[in-house]
Structure 1
Amino acid sequence: MHYRQTPPIQYLPVFEAAARHLSFKRAADELCVTAPAVGQQVKAFEAWLGKPLFHRHTRRLSLTREGEYYFALASDILNRHQQGYIQFKRQFDDKVFHLSASLFVAQEVIMPNYLRFSQYVPNTELRLDARVSYVDFALHQMNAAVRFGEGNWPDLEARLLAKGSVSPVCSETYLSQHADMSPDTLYQNRLLYSLPDMDTWGPYFWGSDRLPEQEPVLCDSYLAAIKLACEGVGVALGIFPTINKWMAKNGLVQPFDIRVNLNRSFWFVYLKGSNDPRLDQAYQWLKCLFEEMER
């Protein structure tokens, strides 16, 4: 490749940031340099190309046609570079295993058993990424994740950890104050919903012809909803088997002995085509943890 026939590669990150923000100052803040330094790099890039990339207005920037073209090109190049680096680290960094999980699974399942990881995956440091939403494998350096869902995510291999079922749960104190609670009267109670996809669970138990009599509490995570249930605020939806230990140690109870089997389970997922032998080892570790919760 004749590198001297193409613009210096160091121009691209600076130009891309300036074009994305349409501001030399905001680009400078992102890149930890000064705004004049960004402006000088952009001018040097424009001089090399022999074309203006920005229209410089009094208080704002806009892209020229040439700038729009090169912004799309630079964005694609830098995104590919980022994804390639992530793939490189995932394939060749064998001293660290990156695992993503929901806040609840991370806190209640993985962290209490963190030290047992080394029994299954020796000479490797486990780094846990706890989050509310699913991790994007294309954008983050992640070896694997634990997900709750149907197991049909594109581009991901999904191995079953445990089948999931759900049931309302509340504190013993709340139940004592609502002793006649049943599936037919559940809609009369304060329901605790959670994001991203557990904000309409009530009709699973009373049907779709009723609305909650009280305004539901919408929490930003499943963990937050369960904590509010423990405090006696209302009724949350417990996911089994991960809720079992929480119920045993935090006084949560089922107001009635009914569980609904959804078409959702807990899965160990990773990119299709991955050949890291540690994936099998980590799966065996997690499979053991989930089996222990079901006993």
Structure 2
Amino acid sequence: MVTPHSPRRLPPLNAVRAFEAAARHGNFTRAADELSVTQGAVSHQVRSLEEWFGFPLFERHKREVRLTQKGETYLTFVRAMLNELHSVTQMVRGKTTEESLCISVPESFAVNWLIGRLGSFTERHPELTVRLTSQNQIDDQGKVVGEEGTHWVDLRIRYGRAKWPGLRVLKLFDEQVFPVCHPDYGAGQLRELGDLSHHALIHDDMQMSWVSWLRSVGAEHIAPPHGPAFSHSHMALQAAAAGLGIALARSALAHDHLKSGALVRPFDMSAPAEHGYYLLCQERMANLPKIQAFKTWVLEQASAFSTGS
């Protein structure tokens, strides 16, 4: 245990900085350009860090370097600590500089709920540049690799059951599930649930099934007919808005469609959604000012949505 009077056994910090830059660029030369040193200096610093650990952090190839498994693990914590050090330093200096906030979000939630509300966050925090990325674009370490380079996810919004070990988990809200369709769909023929048997039902791979929903509202005797199927909820909602049939919608994703009149609810029945929405982040990053800023804002938005205000 480290006491206030015992020295911490830390690796050489310049070597840690060189390691992070080399890992981000995948190349010692580009890391050297960023740090304004020679390629040989970066190589030497990384080698000294590997000797300090007693095992390699990179696999060397002709034109690039790749992290070993232990290197990937170490990089996750190094990135978090460097980000935190930067943010806290700026805060202590009383300065704010433009900083990015990368959030991994399910596509349907981003399209149908989050993006339309982001304007108020950027007005409140003009120093933060928000980058949204699909949850399918990140790897296990929280890294996004794209044409513009490598980015690291700061926050994640997920739909599930609060089982994400090793992460700080904060619940945003639960939802209700109900049928929706175009205002003119059915032309007055949708008076009771039994009428569903005579219309096309849109199926959503990311949503509660029609069989489960009908069972939840006590109408398991109704056999849902076949209809078009979609892999994402925002596609299913667009199909319903285009008049292709009746879709099951979660309240958060359908909210703006219902408000605009693009979709209507033909029945009053609803059932609780199987999961909820959660905000996730690394424990080490939970107290960063930019993380706290987004958390405060999104909880306000979630509370307003849940209460209908």
1:43-122 correspondence to structure 2 within 5 Å: 75-77=68-70, 79-80=72-73, 83-84=76-77, 86-87=79-80, 90-91=83-84, 94=87, 95-121=99-125
Which position in structure 1 is the counterpart of 2:142?
Answer: 139
**1:115-264 mapped onto 2 (5 Å cutoff):** 115-121=119-125, 123-131=127-135, 133=136, 135-136=138-139, 138-140=141-143, 141-176=152-187, 178-182=189-193, 184-195=194-205, 197-198=206-207, 200-206=209-215, 211-214=223-226, 216-264=227-275
Whether 1:291 and 2:303 are equivalent positions in the alignment is: yes
Work out whether residues 58 and 71 of structure 2, in 8 Å CA contact, stay in contact via their aligned partners in 1: no
Stretches of structure 1 that go unaligned for 5 or more consecutive residues are 16-27, 32-40, 42-70
Q: What is the distance in 1 between the residues matched to 2:269 and 2:170?
A: 27
SS of residue matched to 1:280? helix
Q: Distance in 2 between matches of 1:187 and 1:272?
A: 49
How much has 1:171 moved relative to structure 2? 0.9
CA offset digits 1:1-50 (Å, max 9, x no partner): 995998xx7982428xxxxxxxxxxxx8xx6xxxxxxxxx9xxxxxxxxx
**How far is the alpha carbon of 1:165 from its aligned partner?**
1.1
CA separation of 1:165/1:75 partners in 2, compared to 1, >3 Å: closer, same or farther? same
The aligned amino acid for 1:12 is E
Question: C-alpha displacement at 1:256, in angstroms?
Answer: 0.7
2:293 matched residue in structure 1: 281
Q: Deviations over 1:138-181 (max 9, x none)?
A: 23211112222222222222222222111111111223264244
CA contact (8 A) 1:241 1:290 kept: no
How far apart are residue 278 of structure 1 and its match?
Answer: 2.5
Match of 2:29 in 1: none
CA contact (8 A) 1:193 1:199 kept: no
In the alignment, is residue 12 of structure 1 matched against residue 34 of structure 2?
no
CA displacement 1:57-111 (0-9 Å, x = unmatched): xxxxxxxxxxxxxx9xx74245346545654565456511111212232223332
Residues 213/146 of structure 1: CA separation in 2 closer, same or farther (3 Å cut): same
Q: What is the CA deviation profile of residues 238-274 of structure 1, one whole-angstrom value per residue up to 9, with x for unaligned ones? A: 1113422211214211121011113422222212343
Q: Say if 1:146 and 1:76 are closer, same or farther in 2 by CA, change over 3 A.
A: closer
Alpha carbons 1:90, 1:143 under 8 Å: kept: no
Q: Is the 8 A contact 1:147 1:268 kept in 2?
A: yes
Distance across 2 between alignment mates of 1:115 and 1:137: 30
Scaled by the length of structure 1, the TM-score of the pair is 0.66
Counterpart Cα distance in 2 of 1:150 and 1:231: 32
Structure 2: 5+ residue runs without aligned partners?
1-10, 12-43, 88-98, 144-151
Aligned partners of 2:181 and 2:265 also within 8 Å? yes
Q: Give the match for residue 68 of structure 1.
A: none
The percent of aligned pairs where both chains have the same amino acid is 16
